[in-house]
Chains A and B, each alone.
Chain A
Amino acid sequence: MSTTTMTMARALNEGLRRAMEANKKVLLMGEDIGKLGGVFRITDGLQKDFGEDRVIDAPLAESAIVGTAVGLAIRGYRTVVEIQFDGFVYPAFDQIVSQVAKLHKRTDGVYTMGLVIRLPFQGGIGAIEHHSESPEAYFAHTAGLRVVSCATPNDAYWMIQQAIEHDDPIIFCEPKSRYWEKGEVDLDQPPHGLFDAVVRREGHDVTMIAYGSMVKTALRAAEAAEAEGVSIEVIDARSLAPFDLDVMIESVTKTGRLVIVQEAPPTASLGSELAAELSERCFYSLRAPALRVSAYHVPYPPSRIEEHFRPSVDRVLDAVDRVMEWES
């Protein structure tokens, strides 16, 4: 087994490189992804090595970036689209919802919409407005799309390759606050399937489900809780649409308590969906209501106060206390 340590940003870069080497039909398109390597340098060096025809610096119009990727998909190409920041995806919303999600169905399966829309999402980097949002629920709500999120460099490396190989369109959510954190990457063997949820830490008192940036927050909370004698099982959802419910049901059935942690606001969120699904399926196992720890129902605040908006370890632990104390 050959493993190496790298940042998530580097892992994505290497994953893209490997996918482009494996399949000549794989193209990259986005703003500033060529010479600059993208504002986060995820595509660093790829245009130099694969040429301007395969790593395409796009004019600045998100709807066209996605819309032309649709046309390329019809022609048999697999385009990995980079949306520069989460908050800039909305001009492409129509193309994603009305075309990317529905053309396979509309053509009775003739068109394959094998394209990946990379979305640096979530906050925590001290940015100005529109650079820190969590729009995943908009896409998870739409039939025809799949939504995934990586939380570790190893997952980033493998999930981007798996997403590119997959025949359905995938919204690939990258937790930008974790881009620069390092981890072990196994270059030989994918750790899991693209749509698998994974238990990151075993425990028996509380099931905690998180994704993207919040996986690390959940793991920190679990560590802190352990010191107080509470054992938390942390699940990295990884696939947000569809959810890998089996792993979650098994865990909640065991622990009887559920806390979901997300950077998105709570209303009609993925956390809401998980709470509803797991409450229904694990009703007789639950000893407390499923709780969501979310951002607030406000626009993303100025980043000087964003840490009061994003779920913190303390807020997560408060929710743990509540589910633990529910019966007494």
Chain B
Amino acid sequence: MDGDEFVQILTPEGQRVAHPLYESSLGRDEVFGLYRDMVIVRRLCNEATSLQRQGQLALWAPLQGQEAAQIGAGRALEANDFTFPSYREHGVAWCRGVTPKEMLRIFRAVTNGGWDPQKYRHSVPTVVLGDQVLHAVGYAMGVQRDGAHEAVMTFFGDGASSQGDVLESFVWAASFNAPVVFILQNNQWAISEPASLQARIPLYHRAQGFGFPGIQVDGNDVLAMYEVTRRALDLARDGGGPTLIEAYTYRMGAHTTSDDPTRYRVDAEVEIWKHRDPVERVKALLTREYRMKRAALDEVTAQAEAIALQLREDVLAMDAPDPLSMFDDVYAAPHPLIERGRREMIELGVSEGH
């Protein structure tokens, strides 16, 4: 299959390289925009980690290292496309317009969702591995039946690629030619298990066996991620069916704040990936090729800082919901057991606002 070689158009050093099938369509302002996005989500992520360490979040799943994979894919989307994330796609959520405050609600343990998925056309986090991938394919089947010119994108990792639901999604997407783009972020580690345990072949090769294109991309190259994803989305919208994009990247941090990666991987490996940092290479491009001034880059850092500060304020102000809210929206229609539970809790003296 053409184009299944490792797609990279910006090296870790920030040099452009030619690729036979893909070249960057983005100008200076757009590249700067991607840089801004990556800096902001990295800063948000660090703030969230600090908040968790300070006891303000129940958990956090850091995205550090995967900024390019998520921002490149996220910015390739059109407004009316729909996305189905796993639980680490803070960068994609950012691109879809979800506010940082909304992203952290689930980690503050004040909700099991966080935002209005129809408003942002970005579904809520899915914690059970791979479940959302089937939802994306089903949604895409709906898009087909509506005759709409829309695409659907879904995210999962190297670990989830072993889930039956993901493989069943591949079967469905192929059989029904569904307008869906699968973004497999291979960040090399499923908690403590290396990607080599999930697959004995490069993961993107799996697509071929299901009958649709699979492409491996330098997941730390935001320009490559953007171009490959955009083309796959166009293909899907135009009736060309699904594509699997393996974003070859690295989880620089822990799986979550409950994890201790020093138990299962060596520092030397992390060091190698530090040199492939997704943000630094764009910074190098901006300063060398586009001659961007230090002040412009500093302005981005300051903006990220302000957003992080606001996030901290918002999170600290986020109170536990009213206990009675557990009875809301369990069912769409009235249900006697819900009414009974609510009544019992009210009789126990649990009142609004506590």
Contacts and interface: CB of A to CB of B under 8 A. Distances in A.
Interface of A: 27, 53, 59, 61, 63-64, 67-77, 91, 94-95, 98-99, 102-114, 143-144, 146, 166-168, 242, 245
Interface stretch (B15-23, B163-171, B181-189): B163-171
Given A95-B134, A99-B135, A107-B113, 13 more contacts: A61-B168, A61-B171, A68-B141, A71-B139, A71-B142, A72-B138, A74-B138, A77-B145, A103-B124, A104-B331, A106-B124, A109-B332, A146-B335
Given A64-B134, A67-B165, A75 B142 contact: yes
B137 A71 contact: yes
A20 B168 CA distance: 27
A167 B134 contact: no
A73 B138 CA distance: 8
27 contacts: A27-B145, A59-B175, A63-B134, A67-B131, A67-B133, A67-B168, A69-B138, A70-B138, A71-B84, A71-B136, A74-B123, A74-B142, A75-B141, A75-B142, A75-B146, A99-B126, A105-B329, A107-B113, A107-B116, A108-B116, A111-B117, A146-B335, A166-B333, A167-B332, A168-B335, A242-B335, A242-B336
Contacts of B123: 74
Contacts of A77: 142, 145
A109 B328 contact: yes
B142 A105 contact: no
A73 B128 CA distance: 19
Nearest to A58: B172
Interface of B: 84, 111-113, 116-118, 123-124, 126, 128, 131, 133-146, 164-165, 168-169, 171-172, 175, 328-333, 335-337
A108 B113 contact: yes
B131 A64 contact: no
A231 B286 CA distance: 89
A71 B329 contact: no
Contact of A72 (B111, B139, B336): B139
A59 B131 contact: no
Contacts of A105: 112, 328-330
A53 B328 CA distance: 35
By CB atoms of chain B within 10 A, which of A27, A53, A67, A102 has the most? Answer: A67
Contacts of B131: 67, 94-95, 98-99
Contact of A104 (B137, B142, B329): B329
Given A53-B145, A70-B134, A94-B131, A63 B113 contact: no
A154 B142 CA distance: 32
Contacts of B113: 106-108
Contact of A67 (B135, B142, B333): B135
B330 A143 contact: yes
By CB atoms of chain B within 10 A, which of A103, A107, A112, A113 has the most? Answer: A107
B80 to A, nearest CB: 12
Interchain residue pairs A-B with the least CB separation, the first 3: A71-B138, A67-B134, A75-B142
By CB atoms of chain A within 10 A, which of B126, B140, B168, B335 has the most? Answer: B168
B165 to A, nearest CB: 6
Contacts of B335: 146, 168, 242
A64 B165 CA distance: 7
Given A109-B332, A245-B336, A63 B116 contact: no
B148 to A, nearest CB: 9
B334 to A, nearest CB: 10
A95 B175 CA distance: 21
Contacts of B336: 242, 245
Given A74-B139, A111-B117, A63 B168 contact: yes
A68 B328 contact: no
By CB atoms of chain B within 10 A, which of A73, A75, A94, A166 has the most? Answer: A75
A63 B165 contact: yes
Contact of A167 (B128, B165, B333): B333
A107 B172 contact: no
A59 B137 CA distance: 13
Contacts of B175: 59
B70 to A, nearest CB: 21
Contacts of A109: 328-329, 332
B141 A72 contact: yes
Given A63-B164, A71-B135, A105-B330, A110 B128 contact: no
Nearest to A245: B336
B333 A94 contact: no
B121 to A, nearest CB: 10
Given A107-B113, A107-B124, A59 B331 contact: no
A110 B139 contact: no
By CB atoms of chain B within 10 A, which of A64, A71, A110, A144 has the most? Answer: A71
A98 B165 CA distance: 13
B331 A168 contact: yes
Contact of B172 (A64, A108, A144): A64
B168 A107 contact: no
A113 B146 CA distance: 19
Contacts of B128: 94, 98-99
